Amino acid sequence: MKTHSLLMPLDMHLHLRDGEMLQNVAKLTSYTFSGAVIMPNLVPPVKTKEQVLAYKERIMSACGMEIQEDEFDEIFEEEGLSGGDFEPLMTIFYDNYDEDYLDDIRDEIFGIKLYPAGITTNSEGGVASFDVETMRPTLEAMARMDIPLLVHGETDGFVMDREAEFMSVYELLAMNFPDLKIVMEHITTKAAVDMLDKYPNLYATITVQHLLITLDEVAGGMLQPHLFCKPIAKRPEDREALLNVALNAHPKVMFGSDSAPHPQHAKESCGCAAGVFTAPIALQVLCELFDKHGRLDNLQSFVSDNAQSIYGICPEFKEVTLVEQPFKVPAKYGEVVPMYAGETIGWSIEDVL
Ligand code: DOR
Ligand code: ZN
C-alpha cells in the first residue's frame, strides 16, 4: 500500500473560534499540524496583547499536547496515535495601530490580519477605505518590525469579481510598502495567481476546497451549503491556475485551509454562514490530489517548506504518515459538518510522530 510522509505540516490560515467550538475543533488540527496561523475574527475581534495572550492560552489548553481520551477517540481509531506539539501562530485584527502599540505587542503576534469592513464573518470593524496615507504609519511600522500583513482580498463588488477587483489594492500596497510582507489569503482566481510574480513582497495561501471545486460544485446543482465560503469558488480556469502553482510548488504559495467551522444549523439555514470545514481531512485530501497528478513529491513544499522559508519559522517537529487507504469521513464533528461528510476519501492518516 502506498504511503507518504510529511514533515511539520503547517496550516497558514485557520479559524478555531472560541468556547465550546474551540474545544470541539482544536485537536483536529493540532493532531496532524505542527502549527497554524490563527485568525482573529472573534466577537469582539482579537486586538490587544491581553486578548492575544488569553486566546492563545485557551487554544493551547483546548489542544492539549496529546490527543486525550474524548469523543474523537472513535474517529482517531487506533490507540497510540498521539498528536505531539502544536504552536498557534497568533494574529490580531488590523486597525491603524501606532508604532508604540505595535512595539508592545510585536513579540506576541505572528502577523496582522486585514479585513475589508463587512466583507465576511465578523469583519464589521475592518478597513472601510484603502487610503494609503491613512494606513502608511501603521504599515511602515509593520514593515520595520517585520510584521507580515495578511489580507482578505475582496471588494464589495459583484461576488464573482470581488477578488479580481481587489488586485488594484494589492498593487497599491505592494508598491507603496515594498518592505512589507503581504500575504494574499485564500486566493481563488487566476488574477491573484498572476500577481504573485509581479511583486517580490506578495505571497499567497490556497485552501483545499479551491483546488478541488468551482462554483459548479457549490451552486450548479442542488445548493451545497457546506461548500459555501468567502471568497466563493470561481471558474474552472481559476481552479486550473491555483492547481498549477500548488502542484508545482511555486515558492510563494502556501497551504492555508481557511477551515472555518460553523454549527450545522448556521449552515443549513435561510442565510447560510460562509465557511468550509476541512481541518480533519485536509492532509488526506491533499495527498490524494497531489498523488492523482503525480506530484506527491511537491506536497512537502506546499504544506510546510514554503511557509518556513517565507516566514522564516522553524516549526515543532512532527512527522505525519499518510496511507492510500479509504477513509470514511464522519458525518459530523460535534455540531460541525465537514467537507465530504459521509463520503469516502482515498487516503488516511496512518501515524503521527
Ligand atoms: O468563508 C469564510 N469563512 N471566509 C472568511 O473569510 C471567514 C470565514 C469565517 O470566519 O467563517
Ligand atoms: Zn479565513
- Averaged over successive runs of 10 residues, the pLDDT of the chain (353 residues) comes to 97 98 97 97 97 97 64 49 75 98 98 95 92 97 98 97 98 98 98 98 98 98 98 98 98 98 98 98 98 98 98 94 98 98 98 95
Measured in angstroms, how far is the CA atom of residue 3 from the centroid of ligand 2? Answer: 30
3-state secondary structure at position 150: strand
The pick from 91, 114, 120 for probing ligand 1's pocket by mutation, whose C-beta has the most ligand atoms within 8 angstroms, reads 120
Evaluated on CA atoms 280, 187, 113, 265, the torsion sign reads negative
Q: What dihedral angle (degrees, nearest 10) is formed by the CA atoms of 273, 279, 280, 286?
A: 120
What pLDDT score does 316 carry?
85
Which atom number of ligand 1 is nearest to the Cα of residue 274? 1
Which atom number of ligand 1 is nearest to the Cα of residue 185? 6
3-state secondary structure at position 37: strand
What pLDDT score does 66 carry?
40
**Cell numbers linked to 196:** 504573485
The pick from 258, 259, 336, 337 for probing ligand 1's pocket by mutation, whose C-beta has the most ligand atoms within 8 angstroms, reads 258
What value, to the nearest 5°, has the Cα angle with vertex 135 and ends 153 and 99? 120
Task: Go through 89-104 and write b for each residue having 16 or more CB atoms within 10 A of its CB, e for each that does not.
Answer: bbbbbbeebeeebbee
3-state secondary structure at position 314: coil
What pLDDT score does 84 carry?
52
CATH number of 3-352: 3.20.20.140
Please give the full DSSP string across 181-223, using - where no structure is assigned.
-EEETT--SHHHHHHHTT-TTEEEEE-SHHHH--HIIIIISS-
Measured in angstroms, how far is the CA atom of residue 329 from the centroid of ligand 1? Answer: 22
What pLDDT score does 47 carry?
98
What pLDDT score does 80 carry?
43
What value, to the nearest 5°, has the Cα angle with vertex 89 and ends 84 and 95? 165
Q: What dihedral angle (degrees, nearest 10) is formed by the CA atoms of 66, 81, 342, 336?
A: 0
Which atom number of ligand 1 is nearest to the Cα of residue 119? 6
Q: Locate the domains of the chain by residue range.
A: 3-352
What value, to the nearest 5°, has the Cα angle with vertex 133 and ends 129 and 136? 100
Measured in angstroms, how far is the CA atom of residue 15 from the centroid of ligand 2? Answer: 6
What pLDDT score does 83 carry?
43
**Cell numbers linked to 344:** 469516502
State the number of CA atoms in the 13 A half-sphere of 26 facing the CB: 27
| Ligand 1 neighbours by CB, cut-off 6 Å | 15, 41, 120-121, 152, 229-230, 260, 274-275
As a whole number of Å, the CA-based R_g of the chain is 19
* Interatomic CA distance for residues 85 and 55, integer angstroms: 17
**DSSP letter, residue 293:** T
The pick from 122, 229, 267, 272 for probing ligand 1's pocket by mutation, whose C-beta has the most ligand atoms within 8 angstroms, reads 229
Report pTM: 0.94
100 annotated active-site: no
Bridge partners of residue 203, in order along the sequence: 183
* Interatomic CA distance for residues 134 and 238, integer angstroms: 33
3-state secondary structure at position 350: strand
* Interatomic CA distance for residues 176 and 171, integer angstroms: 8
Q: Which of 216, 258, 291, 305 is catalytic?
A: 258
Answer yes or no: are the C-beta atoms of 148 and 111 closer than 8 Å: yes
